[in-house]
Amino acid sequence: MSTKRNFIDLQRHLKDRTRGAFSAAHTLLPYWHRVTHQWQLESAAEMIHSLFLINHTGDIFLEKHWKSVISRGVCDYFLEVKEKAVEPENVPPVLQTPHHYLISIYRDKLFFLSVIQTEVPPLFVIEFLHRVADTFQDYFGECSESIIKDNVVTVYELLEEMLDNGFPLATESNILKEMIKPPTILRSVVNTLTVLLFFPGSSNVGDKLPTGQLSNIPWRRAAVKYTNNEAYFDVIEEIDAILDKSGMTVFAEIQGVIEACTRLSGMPDLTLSFMNPRLLDDVSFHPCVRFKRWESERVLSFIPPDGNFTLMTYHVSSQNLVAIPVYVKQNISFFETGSCGRLDITIGPKQTMGKMVEGLMVTVHMPKAVLSVNLTASQGNYTYDLATKVLVWDIGKLNPQKPPNLRGTLSVQSGAPRPEENPALDIKLKIQQLAISGLKVNRLDMYGEKYKPFKGVKYMTKAGKFQVRT
C-alpha cells in the first residue's frame, strides 16, 4: 500500500505543482523577448522527439514524430512496466531506456507517452502532456480513443502547432482556436471526404496570426463579444483517506480544484474572494492569476481566458481540517477450520452538513481462495466477479434514516489456508453542493466593463483513494 500511495502522491505532485509552469515561463513572455533568450532554451530545443498515444490495453493507436521516426519498439520498455503495475496509475511517470527517456501521464484511460533523447526537466514534459490532454478535452468534449480517431486530422494539426522543433510553442486554447477551428459535424465530414481525397493540401489551420500571440495576456483572444455574459465556477474537492478497523482516521487529505467557465465580452478584470482562504496550502494557479494579490490579500485577481479553464488547484493537508463524510462498520472474518467466512458491512452519513451522499459504492478485492458469496443487501445491488474476485456493492443514494447493510457468508476453497490479511474496502461517493474542507466563495467582482454578468458557484465533494481497513 505504501508503494501505491507513493506513486499516487508523486503523480499528484507532478501535476499539481507544475500546473501552469511552462505557461509562466513561456507564453507570458512576448515574442521578441523569447527570441532574445532563445540561447537559454537551446539545451531543451529538442525536448520531445516523439509522442505515442496508448490505450489501457497497451495498443498504440496514434503516433507523432517531430524529428526522424522512432520505432514503436521503444514503447516495449514502457509496456513491460505497465504489465507489472497493479493499476495504470501506478506506472512510474519517468522511465530510462538504453537510448531514450520515456515520460508519460495517464489521463482518461489513455497513456500519453513522450520519447526524449536528451536529459530534460521531467516536470516540464509532464506539464506539456497534461496541456495536450486538456486541449483535446476542450476541442472535442472528451479525450478518448474513439474521439481522437474520429478527429485525427485536427489532432495532428494541433500537435504541429503546440510543439515546434520539440519545444512547446502555442499551448493556450484561445490562441489555438484562432489558428485551428474546433471541429463540427459538417467540418469533420468535409475533412474526411473532401479535404483528404480531393484537396490534400487544405487544412483547418488559419492564415492569420492569432491576436493573442503577441499580447501580454496570450490566454485571452481579442474582441470577445457575447449576448449573454456569464461566469460560472465549480469548486470540486477530492478526499483521500485511510480508516483503520475501528473507524479512526489514519490518513486524510483533500485535493481541490476550481474549474471556471467564463463567457464575458470585452476585457473584464475579475476578483474572486473567499470566506476562509487561509485553510488552503500548496496552491497552484492559471497563469492569468496575479500572484502578488494572492500573497498579500488572499484573493484571486485575473483577466480570465474565454471559455473553460482551470483557475486554481489547492491542497488541504491538515488532518484536523478533513471531515470524513461517512462512517463504516465492518466485519470480514475467515474461520480457522472449515471452508467459509462471514461479511457484515454497514455504512452511514457522518459529516455531510445535511447534504445527500450519492453514487455510493463499496468495492472489496477478495482473497483468491473465495469461490462465491451468499449475501443480502438491505439497499442497492451487489455483484461478485469470479474471475477477478472483486465484490462491488452499488448503493446509490445513502438513506440517513436507515443506513444500508450488506451481510452474508463467503465460500472458501476447501483446504486453502486462512488468508493472512483481510481485504480492504474501497469507497466511492459524491456529495453535491458541499466542499468538505469548508471552503466558500464570498463574492465575485468585475472591473473594466459596465455590464452585469450572471454569476454562479457550485460545490462538489467526491472520494478519491478512500480506503477502510478490515
Q: What is the pLDDT of residue 187?
A: 53
Measured distance CA(95)–CA(129) in Å, rounded: 15
Kindly report the length of the chain: 470
| DSSP secondary structure code for residue 205 in this structure | B
CATH code for the structural domain at 326-432: 2.60.40.1170
User: In what helix (H) or strand (E) does residue 38 lie, and over which residues does it extend?
Assistant: helix 38-41
Q: Which CATH class is domain 2-198?
A: alpha beta
* Maximum CA extent, the chain: 79
Segments of the chain assigned to CATH 3.30.450.60: 2-198
pLDDT of residue 215: 63
Going by their DSSP bridges, the two strands 454-468 and 230-243 should be labelled as parallel
282 conformational bin, left if phi > 0, alpha if psi -120 to 50, beta if neither: left
Q: What's the pLDDT at 436?
A: 93
Burial (CB < 10 A; 0-12, 13-18, 19+), residue 285, is buried
C-beta of residue 211 within 8 angstroms of C-beta of residue 222: yes
Compute the distance between CA of residue 261 and CA of residue 268 in angstroms, rounded to an integer. 14
Q: State the first-to-last Cα distance of the chain, in angstroms, to the nearest integer.
A: 14
Apex 21 CA angle, 18 and 25, nearest 5: 160
Those residues of the chain that have pLDDT short of 70 are 1-46, 185-215, 337-338
The fold of 230-322+436-468 is Immunoglobulin-like (2.60.40)
Taking a C-beta distance cutoff of 8 angstroms, is the pair 221, 211 a contact? yes
pLDDT at residue number 199: 45
Extract the runs of DSSP E, i.e. beta strands, from 335-389: 340-349, 357-365, 370-377, 381-385
pTM: 0.77
Residue range(s) of every CATH 2.60.40.1170 domain in the chain? 230-322+436-468, 326-432
